Amino acid sequence: MNHTDKTPFLDLVTPHQELKDELSAVFSRALDTAGFIGGPMVEEFERGFAAYCTTQHCVGVGSGTDALRFALIAAGIGPGAIVLTVPNTFIATTEAISQAGARPEFIDIDERTYNLDPSKLAEYLDTDCMVDDQCGEVIHRKLGMPVKAVVPVHLYGQPADMDPILELAERYRLLVIEDACQAHGAEYFSRKSNCWKKAGSMGRAAAFSFYPGKNLGACGEAGAVTTNDGVLAQKIRMLRDHGQAKKYFHDVEGYNGRLDAIQAGILTVKLQHLPEWTECRREAAARYRELFVEAGAGELAPYEPEWAKAVYHLYVVRVPDREGLMRQLAEAGIGTGIHYPVPLHLQKAYSDLGHPKGSLPITERVASEILSLPMFPRLRAEQQSRIVQRVLESVAFPTV
């Protein structure tokens, strides 16, 4: 194998080399002022990211997990409540639900978009639950607990089908918190409002992660909540800072969940480049599609509905012999990933929730066949040609 032919799954080095001077200046600025936590750099980023997401408020926090947890808690989710989400996501989604005191319950995904299937959400609410005549709450028949919220995940950078989700949420009075941790800048065409909407602007609030590998990544841990609800934003500002209304006056018990000034400064620099990076990801996705179509294997390209403008955090293909393909690509020096190999309801951590194998069949089937190919803004056309060639070879000549 020619060493120069190697393609990593993700290239985190190049973007930081490209911006080294601008990023280093952020460190100098923080060292000169010793303003390491909160302060003007955090406020500047919050204004910039709220504008980018077309929301009125953005609250910087310590991570995407903090963002989800604080949004749920601030919106009143706590012990005794059921919160619905998908089993095909990163565990942070359900950790936040459990850590808010609620019980996560799972709705299966759509086989083509890999996101929450609104018809399955409707089925769950209509048949597994009943509406209490007195309080108007939706109660799960078997568990006897109220369903209070739904957390749709815009997985892989593709928005979930929000119109029917929001409609059901309105009918059943559910709170909607978007998990937009993989979807910075993704857009959804709302047929109801007849306009495109940004991920993170459609629910009561949304959580973003700026983990280094995300489309907008810090040089460390960071996250944010976006919302148009000023009261909710204020509560989250308190929760992230030990429940303080002002220094040493604690209205509630909170958390240590603030955003570092250095990370905020880095994110402000990178936010200026995000539209260009997103464009590059979309071009790379279009190129992958073209290569698959030219080879008569167009079905390998991920499905992007006409109502979605995905930002391709991940580029996921689905093949019967996933392990074989992964091995063959690794031998060719091509990095891949699996997002995610074990559905959440089958994780050991959730064995006490009592969801047997077979209970969420689409997610289970998909989990054994999905593979994430290299995807990053500086992925080159010739690298993609080679990757696609190898994929086609492996699919045509499986090793098992």
69, 238, 260, 306 from 57: Cα distances, Å? 17, 14, 18, 29
Q: Of the two residues 300 and 375, which places its CB atom closer to ligand PLP in the complex?
A: 375
Residue 111's nearest CA partner among 343, 302, 356 is: 302
Q: Of the two residues 92 and 262, which places its CB atom closer to ligand PLP in the complex?
A: 92
**Of residues 146-175, which lie at the interface with ligand PLP (CB under 6 A)?**
153
Amino acid at 143: L
Provide the minimum distance between the beta carbon of 185 and ligand PLP in the complex, in angstroms, as a whole number: 15
Provide the minimum distance between the beta carbon of 222 and ligand PLP in the complex, in angstroms, as a whole number: 7
Closest residue to ligand PLP, Cβ-based?
A: 64
Q: Of the two residues 182 and 336, which places its CB atom closer to ligand PLP in the complex?
A: 182
Provide the minimum distance between the beta carbon of 90 and ligand PLP in the complex, in angstroms, as a whole number: 4
Instruction: Give the distance, in angstroms, between the CA of residue 51 and the centroid of all CA atoms in the same chain.
Output: 19
Provide the minimum distance between the beta carbon of 247 and ligand PLP in the complex, in angstroms, as a whole number: 27
Q: Of the two residues 64 and 146, which places its CB atom closer to ligand PLP in the complex?
A: 64
- E strand segments, the chain: 57-61, 82-85, 103-106, 129-131, 138-140, 146-150, 175-179, 187-190, 195-198, 205-209, 223-227, 244-246, 249-250, 308-309, 315-318, 370-373
Q: Of the two residues 181 and 388, which places its CB atom closer to ligand PLP in the complex?
A: 181
Q: Binding residues for ligand PLP, how many (CB under 6 A)?
A: 14
Whether 335 contacts 181, CB under 8 Å = no
Tokens at 39, concatenated: 């302060």
Tokens at 281, concatenated: 């990801």
Can you tell me the distance from the alpha carbon of 119 to that of 164, in angstroms, rounded to the nearest whole number?
8
Provide the minimum distance between the beta carbon of 195 and ligand PLP in the complex, in angstroms, as a whole number: 25
Q: Of the two residues 148 and 184, which places its CB atom closer to ligand PLP in the complex?
A: 184
Q: Of the two residues 96 and 291, which places its CB atom closer to ligand PLP in the complex?
A: 96
Provide the minimum distance between the beta carbon of 365 and ligand PLP in the complex, in angstroms, as a whole number: 20
Provide the minimum distance between the beta carbon of 215 and ligand PLP in the complex, in angstroms, as a whole number: 10
Q: Which stretch binds ligand PLP (CB under 6 A): 177-185, 232-240, 260-268, 315-323?
A: 177-185
Phi, psi (deg, nearest 5) at residue 377 = -55, -35
Structure letter (DSSP) for residue 359: S
Provide the minimum distance between the beta carbon of 277 and ligand PLP in the complex, in angstroms, as a whole number: 17
Can you tell me the distance from the alpha carbon of 292 to that of 295, in angstroms, rounded to the nearest whole number?
5
Q: Of the two residues 183 and 326, which places its CB atom closer to ligand PLP in the complex?
A: 183
Q: Of the two residues 63 and 363, which places its CB atom closer to ligand PLP in the complex?
A: 63
Provide the minimum distance between the beta carbon of 37 and ligand PLP in the complex, in angstroms, as a whole number: 17
Question: Residues 179, 241, 260, 364: which binds ligand PLP (CB under 6 A)?
Answer: 179
Amino acid at 99: Q
- Contacts with ligand PLP, 63-102, as mask; x by CB under 6 A: xxx-----------------------xx-xx---------
Those residues with Cβ within 8 angstroms of residue 223's Cβ, 6 or more apart along the chain or in another chain: 60, 61, 62, 63, 64, 65, 66, 67, 181, 207, 208, 209, 210, 259
Amino acid at 199: A
363 lies in the binding site for ligand PLP (CB under 6 A)? no
92, 105, 145, 147, 358 from 349: Cα distances, Å? 12, 14, 21, 22, 18
Whether 197 contacts 190, CB under 8 Å = yes
**Of residues 196-255, which lie at the interface with ligand PLP (CB under 6 A)?**
209, 211, 223
Q: Of the two residues 62 and 377, which places its CB atom closer to ligand PLP in the complex?
A: 62
181 lies in the binding site for ligand PLP (CB under 6 A)? yes
Tokens at 103, concatenated: 């019980």
Those residues with Cβ within 8 angstroms of residue 341's Cβ, 6 or more apart along the chain or in another chain: 367
Residues that bind ligand PLP (CB under 6 A): 63-65, 89-90, 92-93, 153, 179, 181-182, 209, 211, 223
